[in-house]
Structure 1
Amino acid sequence: MFYKAKELFRDKIDISLYAPLSKRLEVDMMYAINEKEKMILLYGEAGNGKSFLMNKVYTSLKEKNIDSDLYFIYNPIEEEDALSELLLLDSERHRVVFIDEAQTLSLERIETLRMFADNKNYTIILATHEKKAKEIFAKKHFSSRINYILNTTPCKYDEMVFFISSKLTHNGFEEIDRMFRKSTYKFIYKFTNGNLREINQLVYRTFDIINYFYKRYPAKVHKNRIDNKYIEMANIFIKEIHA
C-alpha cells in the first residue's frame, strides 16, 4: 500500500498529480497568454511549483486547441539550437513559447528574446529562480518591458494539507489519507516550510520507510495513524543525502 502511494510524491513533473494551490497564478497566466502579452516572467524559489504550473497551462492550452502555436523549451541550454530555430520561423500566427529553467540563460540571451517578443507575434514565458529574477529586475530596460510578473511562493499550511490529501484521495489511497493527523501535517510543515519539492521528497521518503518496517515488523506500524518518528527518520535521511 505505502509502496504504491509513495510514487504519487516522486520528484517529477506529472500534471496528472497537479494540485492547483494557487488558482490565481494559473488564471493570470492564461489571461496574459489569451491577451497575447509579449513577455511573462514566472519566478520563485526552487521547488515552489514553477515547472508544474508551466506544464499545466501548456497542456490546458493544447487541449483547448487555441489559435496559437505552442512550444515548450524544457532546458534552454540543451535545446539552444531548437530555440534559435524557433525564433527564426517566419509566420503571421501567434506563437507562445514556454521556457523553463530560464536562470540558465544569459542576460544577453534574455534581451534577444525580449526583442523578438517586441517585434514579432510572440508571447514568451520565462520561468526562473528568484536570484535570476532580481538580476532581470535590476536592468530597467528588462523590467519595464515585462508585461506580467508572477511570483510563486511557498504554500501555506492549509494548502499543504490539501496538496497531500488530494493526491492520496484522488488516486484511491483514502485509507492512508485517514492516517494523517494534525500532528502529522504540522511535522511535515515544520521540516519543509511549505516548499512543494521538499514536501514531495519528505512524504515519499516517509512512505518508503514505513513500507520497510511494514514488510519486516508489521506489528510496529500503526494501522490508524502515521507515527511522527517515521517523518523524523525521513527528514534525517534527506538531510544526509543533501549534506
Structure 2
Amino acid sequence: MRKFNQLVLNEWLKISKKRSFIIPYALLVLMVFVIGYIVHTVAAADTYASAAEFTADSLLPTGIGQVLVILVIVGIAGIVSKEYSQGTIKFLLIRARSRTAILASKYVTVLLYSLSMLMAATIALFVSGMIFFGLSGGDAGINEILTSLLYSTVYCIVYATIGFMLGILTKSTGVTIGATIFATTIDKIIIYRDFYKYFLFPNLNLAAYKDGGAPMPGMTLNFSIVLLCIYMVLFLFAGFAVFRRRDVA
C-alpha cells in the first residue's frame, strides 16, 4: 500500500508542478465571482436569499458543474496520453510496478484532482454568495449544499472517467478534450424513446430526481445509479485492458 501511495504522490507532483496547474482553479474562482456579480447586479439582488441558496443552486450539473467538468478534463486529459507523446511511457513501465498499479495510481490522481476542483468550486461559490447575497435568509442550508455537491461529484467523476478512458484509447490529449466537451454539449438532449433511458446521458444528472422528478418516464434514482455503475465499470475495464496489452516498444 505504501508503494501505491508513493505512485499516487508522484503522479500528483507531476501535474502540480506544471506551470498551467493553477490556471483551471483561477478560471473557476474568477468565473464564480463574475456569475455572482452578474446575478446580483444585472438579474436581481433578491434572486437568492442567501449564500447557501446561491451555492446549492449554482453547484448543480446544470450550473457551474458543467463548466467544472470541462476544466477538469483540460487539467487531466494528458495524464496518460502525454506519456506516449513525450516517450516517457517506456521509462514508466520499466520500473518494478505492474501496469495495473501504474494506471490505477493515475486514475486515483484523476479522482483527487476532480475532488479538489469540486471543493474549490464549493468554497468559491459560498464566499461569492456571502459577499453578494449574505448569510441569512432562505430555506437552504448545509444539507442542500452537500446534496448539490453530491450530484455534481457524480457528474464530474463519470466524465473524468470517460476522459481517462479516451486518453488511454486514443493516446491523444486533443481528441480527449474535444470529445468530452462535445459530450457535455449534448448530454442534456433527451430522446423520448424507451430505449434511450439505458444510454449514459439521461442518467448523468441525478439532480433531475429532486422533488420526485425524473429525466424520463419510467426512470428511478436507483435505476440511474445502477446504470452509471455499469458504465463506469465498462469504461475502466476498457481502459485498463488496452493499457495492459498495448505494445509500447
Higher strand share: 1
Give the structure-1-normalised TM-score. 0.25
Higher Cα Rg, which structure: 1
